[in-house]
Amino acid sequence: MSLGEKAMSESMVPEGWREVATPPSLFRRFQFDSYRDTRAFLERLAGLSKETGLYPDLGFGTTHVNVTVYGADGRAPGANEIDFASRAAALAVP
Amino acid sequence: MSLGEKAMSESMVPEGWREVATPPSLFRRFQFDSYRDTRAFLERLAGLSKETGLYPDLGFGTTHVNVTVYGADGRAPGANEIDFASRAAALAVP
């Protein structure tokens, strides 16, 4: 089993993210001070998606963004998704 | 009671939208053929929000956008929100 196929263990969940069982995914809510910051984060996420080929479900209002990263083909999030989550969190810093 | 404050009646719900009771809002899911079309719609919605000052909650994946337009101050959607919904739907045409 390659790292990419490996199921996620508790210890692998990036800090601040919540592991969701059904459907298998990683979830995190990001809060921002302004709509401008919210939009900037969404733009950065779009760039990360383009680079990685991973497209999470995104929900947003003026000052928050909810990110749900699904595992591939209904499986638990693997190394790629965990890496995406970590990098996404880094992009949320203004 | 001005038009802006008037509560929404069934007949006022724009075609294709669903009136949600709690919290009072208008909801519609838009489906697209591509991520490119999805992003283009989101950009147009951002422009409409800037123009109108109405910022709906938006949820999206690669080929869909869920739009929830809340009434002001927890009230039922009024003329402004109904107008926003109608104009948003027009922006979804590729």
How high does pLDDT run on average in chain A? 90
ipTM: 0.84
Chain A residues in contact with B35 by the CB 8 A cut-off are 55
For A62, the 3-state DSSP assignment is: coil
DSSP count for chain A of H helices, then E strands = 2, 4
Phi-psi region of A31 (alpha: psi -120 to 50; beta: other; left: phi over 0): beta
User: Are B22 and B70 spatial neighbours (Cβ–Cβ below 8 Å)?
Assistant: no
Q: Encode pLDDT of A13-51 as tens digits.
A: 999 999 999 999 999 999 999 999 999 999 999 999 999
Which of the residue ranges A1-15, A76-90, B32-46 would you say has the lowest mean pLDDT? A1-15
Nearest to A55 among B35, B58, B66 (CB): B35
What is the reported pLDDT for A5?
A: 46
For A61, the 3-state DSSP assignment is: coil
Phi–psi pair at A78, nearest 5 degrees: -110, -160
Residue of A nearest to B35 (CA): A55
Residues A60-68 have a mean pLDDT of 98
- Give the position of tokens 């009230």: B75
CA distance A24 to A30: 20
Q: Count of CB contacts below 8 A, A vs B? A: 27
What is the reported pLDDT for B2?
A: 44
Q: Is B62 on the interface with A (CB under 8 A)?
A: yes
Q: Is B61 on the interface with A (CB under 8 A)?
A: yes
- C-alpha distance from B64 to closest chain A C-alpha (Å): 10
How high does pLDDT run on average in chain B? 90
pTM confidence score: 0.87
* Reported confidence tier of residue A4, pLDDT bands at 50, 70, 90: very low
Chain A residues in contact with B48 by the CB 8 A cut-off are none
CA distance B63 to B92: 12
User: How are beta strands B57-60 and A57-60 bridged, if at all?
Assistant: antiparallel
Burial of B77 (0-12, 13-18, 19+ CB in 10 A): buried
Q: Encode pLDDT of B20-42 as tens digits.
A: 999 999 999 999 999 999 999 99
Chain A residues in contact with B46 by the CB 8 A cut-off are 39
Element housing A68 (H / E)? strand A64-70
* Reported confidence tier of residue A93, pLDDT bands at 50, 70, 90: confident
